[in-house]
Amino acid sequence: MLPLFKSPWLRDDHAQLADAAARFFVERWEPQMAAWRAAGRMPRSAWREAGEQGFLCAAMPDEYGGGGGDFGHEAVLALELAKANNSGFGGGLHSAIVAPYILHHGSEEQRRRWLPRMAAGELIGAIAMTEPGAGSDLQGVRTVARRDGDDYVLSGSKTFITNGQNANLVIVVCKTDPQQGAKGVSLIVAEVEDEAGQPRPGFSRGRNLDKIGMQAQDTSELFFDGLRVPAENLIGGVEGQGFAQLMQELPQERLLIAVSAVGGIERGLQEALRYTKERKAFGKAVWEFQNTRFQLAEVQAQLLAARALLDAAIDAHLKGELDAARAALVKSWTTDLQCQLLDVCLQMHGGYGYMMEQPIAQLWADARVARIYGGTNEIMKELAARSM
Ligand SMILES: Cc1cc2nc3c(=O)[nH]c(=O)nc-3n(C[C@H](O)[C@H](O)[C@H](O)COP(=O)(O)OP(=O)(O)OC[C@H]3O[C@@H](n4cnc5c(N)ncnc54)[C@H](O)[C@@H]3O)c2cc1C
């Protein structure tokens, strides 16, 4: 594979973290992936290991137990995880999606209460927006938080929640005023387990969902049936701010998905090159056929282009200049490309490409969801078009 251009935002400390993460994900975690896929989840012990290695909350300030880094650190971790073909670990969502809600919108007391334990891997984060009846149309959520004394009482159902089986800290997107649309939405942190690690009364986990790919990821249903949560767990302390908080944080979520997409393409191309140089047909390596060479040269060119777009977006984000519209287009374009290019790479494997024993099969199956989650690519284009 040709070396990619050096990312303009990449500093030495980012590169050092990338090297350490690459080694750890490949040497320590990759041998366990098959067992984790069979189990449908990664164990909580892996989360604590990630915490010890400094791979959780890398961009949270030191004073809250984090790595004191920036989004560049989260980006290199997501890239290396994707390149290690690990779609099970929800550490990116935990560190770069859940934790920022607490850092940017939570009170000082909330930050001190949750972030250090999240950085250690003791608390595992999830964000529960989607419901059986409301995905793209978030204003339509029906989960309700009813105020009762010093508590909120949560009732409703969530589905497709990343880290759903492992999570013990869930940001619940709910209505504190069910009569309102966006203005009635609030974000409430639910610590869903008691000190003994048992689900609190009023909370239960549903199925660990059976997916096309990402088998080691515990994507689940969650049920709230009268779960009492202290009123002080309302993020920001004022009701009705949830929708605005989501709109502020979603660009980073979408950028992170784009990072994983580009990492996945990179691994896919490596796999196609390795395989076609080994595999023989008609007395020569498959790599020798002009079709293979042209197609993979084209994948390489598109990978270089995708990486350049991604780097520009990361650079803008690090300067606080990435708007929601461009983040949406970067997400939709890179994930569409991911599916297209991984399909080419799979084709180059012939029948073996359809077998799960080849890494390309997993990469291909895992990629499909990237066009759906974090907001579907149709919604991404709609969002961008509004500002065009
Ligand atoms: C593996 C996985 C992990 C996930 N993780 C999480 C998570 O951690 N937390 C969470 O809250 N959610 C999560 N999701 C949910 C995900 O974000 C939603 O599935 C997604 O937003 C789409 O919602 P939906 O499934 O209800 O589809 P729908 O909204 O029902 O969409 C169905 C189709 O209609 C299209 N459509 C809808 N509205 C429009 C429109 N206005 N214009 C054009 N087309 C439109 C969509 O693009 C789509 O093609 C996850 C999903 C998966 C599959």
CB-based contacts of 364, cutoff 8 Å, min separation 6: 213, 268, 342, 343, 345, 346, 353
The per-residue pLDDT for range 65-106, each reduced to its tens digit, is 999 999 999 999 999 999 999 999 999 999 999 999 999 999
Which residues are the active-site residues? 253
The 10s digit of each residue's pLDDT in 252-287 is 999 999 999 999 999 999 999 999 999 999 999 999
Q: Is residue 169 classed as helix, strand or coil in its secondary structure? A: strand
**pLDDT tens sequence across 12-21:** 999 999 999 9
Atom number, ligand 1, closest to the C-alpha of residue 374:
17
The encoded tokens of residue 68 equal 């004191």
Q: What is the tens place of the pLDDT at every residue in 144-155?
A: 999 999 999 999
Q: Hey, what are 255's tokens?
A: 């950028």
- pLDDT attached to residue 6: 93
Confidence at residue 107, expressed as pLDDT on a 0 to 100 scale? 97
Band of pLDDT at residue 220, cut at 50, 70 and 90: very high
Angle, to 10 degrees, between the axis of helix 324-347 and the axis of helix 359-367? 150
Q: Which two structure tokens, joined as six digits, stand for 156? A: 């409703």
Instruction: Give yes or no for a contact between 89 and 42, defined as CB atoms under 8 angstroms apart.
Output: yes
Is residue 299 in contact with ligand 1, taking CB distance under 6 Å? no
4: CB partners within 8 A, 6+ apart: 266, 303, 304, 307
Q: Band of the pLDDT at 350, cuts 50, 70, 90?
A: very high
161 lines ligand 1 (CB under 6 A): yes
Is the distance from the beta carbon of residue 162 to the nearest atom of ligand 1 less than 6 Å? yes
From the CA of 214, give the closest atom in ligand 1.
1
Residue 140 banded pLDDT, cuts 50, 70, 90: very high
Q: What is the pLDDT of residue 277?
A: 98
Average pLDDT, the chain: 97
Q: Given this model, what pLDDT does residue 244 score? A: 96
Kindly give the distance from the C-alpha atom of residue 328 to the centroid of ligand 1, in angstroms, as a whole number: 14
